[in-house]
Amino acid sequence: MIKLITSFFLILSTTLIYSQEKITDQINIPFTLSEHGYIIIPVTINGIEGKYVFDTGAGINLLFKKSADKIKDLEKTEHFYTGHRATGEGLEIDLWKTKSLEIQDFKVDNEIFGILDIDFELDGLISLAMFKDKQITIDFKNKILSIESKKSLKKLLKNEDFEIPIQISNDRDISIDISMKVILDNKLSLDVVLDSGAGYDVYRFNSRFMKSLEIDSAQVKKIYKPSYFKPGSGNNFFITEVSEFSDASKNVSEKNFRAIFIEGLIYEGIMSINWIGEKITIDIPNKRLIVKK
């Protein structure tokens, strides 16, 4: 009998150890890249699978209404979120709660989403909000999004090329953005939002900086874009080439790139994330990027 009990606890102990190891394993999520560089991942919400953009610039998680209508058991909360699009239009969005959310082996309950009534080919946006206490790696070469474990993070730190400090904007754990300092044209130090949802090679700046860079608005291409959300209003976009920008420590840079200066942009700048490296780990708890070129 004692042997039986001992055997039972040995099996139980082994199972617990195995479970703990599984829990701390790195979770790898294959993704597809659209032709414009959007990172698209499969997400299952309340049992309904869809295709979502992993968007570090979204702020909050979003469901598009046509997709939200297919998902049962979404719970409307008493809360709402007031924010702005990058081009300045204000949005007030009701907040809803999921019962379950699965991205491969990553599972969370009671995740908060806004619902936006726009026509879009995908089902929604996954922001950084649900990864606020984690490290998540974008591997562009192998098209893998990884949620790191303690073990895999330790390995990453051994093989890193460099780190870049980032700033975190966190509004009630509902909306989270990340930004970093860049040096533009060896003249301006700007805080720019890092936006994987912008696609590849998109570099946008507030038009107020054109004067400091000696860019004549009358001598560059100008496009007026009406607002999708606010009829009767819009923004002027000035498109030109800028010689260089880099991170503050000049670990990585881009030269002779196409830049867009926007009147009414609510940020100093907003740009893609792919230029930083082939493999980028976003570490929100420690306010840094871990980069493998």
119 and 199 inside one domain: no
Q: What is the pLDDT of residues 17-76, one digit of tens each?
A: 333 344 458 999 999 999 899 999 999 999 999 999 999 999 999 999 999 999 999 999
86 and 177 inside one domain: no
278 and 195 inside one domain: yes
Residue 9 counted as domain residue = no
103 and 49 inside one domain: yes
Overall size of the chain counted in residues: 293
Per-residue model confidence (pLDDT) at position 227: 85
In this model, does residue 12 exceed pLDDT 80?
no
162 and 144 inside one domain: no
Q: Which of 118, 149, 180 is the last residue of a domain?
A: 149
Q: Which of 121, 149, 177 is the last residue of a domain?
A: 149
Q: Cβ of 9: how many Cβ atoms within 10 Å?
A: 10
Residue 143 neighbours by CB under 8 Å, 6+ apart: 30, 31, 32, 33
In this model, does residue 214 exceed pLDDT 70?
yes
In which domain, by residue range, is 96 found?
27-149
Q: Report d(CA 293, CA 291) in Å as an integer.
A: 6
Q: Cβ of 104: how many Cβ atoms within 10 Å?
A: 15
Residue 250 neighbours by CB under 8 Å, 6+ apart: 183
Q: What is the pLDDT of residues 160-209, one digit of tens each?
A: 899 999 999 999 999 999 999 999 999 999 999 999 999 999 999 999 99
Q: What is the pLDDT of residues 249-263, one digit of tens each?
A: 999 999 999 999 999
33 and 99 inside one domain: yes
In this model, does residue 2 exceed pLDDT 80?
no
- CB neighbour class for 227 (10 Å; exposed up to 12, middle 13-18, buried from 19): middle
In this model, does residue 159 exceed pLDDT 90?
no
**Collapsed DSSP state (helix, strand, coil) of residue 131:** helix
This prediction's pTM? 0.88
Q: Which alpha helices (DSSP H) does 89-196 contain, by range?
A: 150-159
- In this prediction, residue 293 has a pLDDT band, given cuts at 50, 70 and 90, of confident
Residue 54 counted as domain residue = yes
DSSP state, residue 200: S
